Every structure is written in structure tokens, then in C-alpha cells.
Amino acid sequence: MKGVVTMWKRFKTWYGKNISNRDARLREKYLDIRNHEVTINDMDYFLAKAVIPDIPEILGIERSVYGGQTPWDDKAFQNELSRKKDRFYLVLRRNDWLVAFIGCSLNFKTKDCHITNVAVAPNFQNHGLGYFLVTKIIKKARQLEYKKVTLEVRVSNTKAQKLYRTLGFQDAGIKQGYYNGDHEDALNMELELDGTADAVVPDYDTEEK
């Protein structure tokens, strides 16, 4: 019996190490993207991984979108962008102005990619930037062999909900009083990454795979 227990422990150690190494290889391959130009609805933008010097502009977009408020402050974004293994943030620039960003947390144990932030400057809304960024995160989650992509959205933000449903997200419950300040409820939404997801997530970025 003791020998069986020892063999089981060795197997768990071997399995855990190999899974961890595989996750690390996938992260290195798919999250270390090359900054490059992209075309969205006939307009050229520059897509890049977010870095700490981007934070003032990210906060500026938050203020413009949320009526002068910043749901996440400078310290929160610094913490997020410092976590290289389990966070992934992208920004879009137009003529060197940061016009949109998205971020997600990556849970390598549950294989859950959770979109934490997505915002587009008011002057660039309705140009497909939010759609582009969300599809980019979905693609990365699939490349990392994740099971699902999740997010929260205000129950009053029916426009965003419509976008997410277009991409295949389904309603997954309500978080009451979720948001700071006004304590508005949040709608949980989930996208299961099964074989049907490819059909609803077209890839407009031909430069970065």
C-alpha cells in the first residue's frame, strides 16, 4: 500500500510539473505579442500590450467614459500591469493617442479567462474597437486552451450586453450591488470555448497570430 501511495505522489508531482511547463510555453508563445498596426473598419490603429506608462491615458479614458470617475485607480492598474503571468492587457492607439483598452485575468487552474476592463474613448465608440478587443481576448483564451471567457457588465448597459451576445456570451446570473458608488447590479456573462466558438469570433488581425 505504501508503494502505491508513493507512486501516486510521484505521478501527481510529474503531472503537475508537466502541466505547469505546458502552460508556461503557451503563455510565452501566445501572450508575448508583437506590437503592430491593425485596420478596423478601414481605419488604422496601433495594437500593443499595455505598459505602466500607459496608465495616465487609461485613467483618462475611464474618466471620459464614466462621467469623471475612475472605477480603477492608478494603484490598481499598476498592480495589474505588474502581474505578467496571470494578467493580459492590450491598448489601441490612433495617431499616438490611446483610444481603447482591454484587460483580463488568467486562471491557469480553472482555465477561466475573465475580462476585467474594457473601455473605448467616446469619440471612437461605434467604430468596432470594443468588438475587436473582445475578439482578441477570446482568441488568446482559445490559444491558451482555456474552457471559458467570463465578464461582468452593468444591467443597464444593454448596448454592451448586445455586443457580448453577438459574440456568443450567455447570461450567467446577477451580482447584486456589484459596482462601487451607485451599487448597480452586474450581469454575469460567460462564453464556453467549445468547437462552435470559432464560428462567432472572426479574426480581423492578420498580422498577429
Residue 40 contacts by C-beta under 8 Å, 6 or more apart in sequence? 127, 128, 129, 132, 204
Q: Is 167 left (phi over 0), alpha (psi -120 to 50) or beta?
A: alpha
What gap in Å lies between CA 71 and CA 192, rounded to an integer?
Answer: 27
What gap in Å lies between CA 166 and CA 200, rounded to an integer?
Answer: 8
Q: What angle do CA 203, 72, 160 make, to 5 degrees?
A: 40
How long, in residues, is the chain? 209
Q: Poorest-confidence range of 6-10, 88-92, 137-141, 188-192?
A: 6-10
Entry pTM? 0.83
Cell output for 17: 510539473
List the domains of the chain with CATH numbers. 27-200 (3.40.630.30)
Residue 76 contacts by C-beta under 8 Å, 6 or more apart in sequence? none
Q: Select from 140, 89, 94 the least CA-distant residue to 117.
A: 89
pLDDT in tens, 152-187: 999 999 999 999 999 999 999 999 988 877 788 999
Q: Contact 68/61 with Cβ under 8 angstroms?
A: no
- With H, G, I as helix, E, B as strand and everything else as coil, classify residue 160: helix
Q: For residue 83, list its beta bridge partners.
A: none
pLDDT in tens, 82-123: 998 999 999 999 999 999 999 999 999 999 999 999 999 999
Q: Is the pLDDT of residue 196 over 50?
A: no
Q: Is the pLDDT of residue 19 over 80?
A: no
Q: With 0-12 CB in 10 A as exposed, 13-18 as middle and 19+ as buried, what is 21? A: exposed
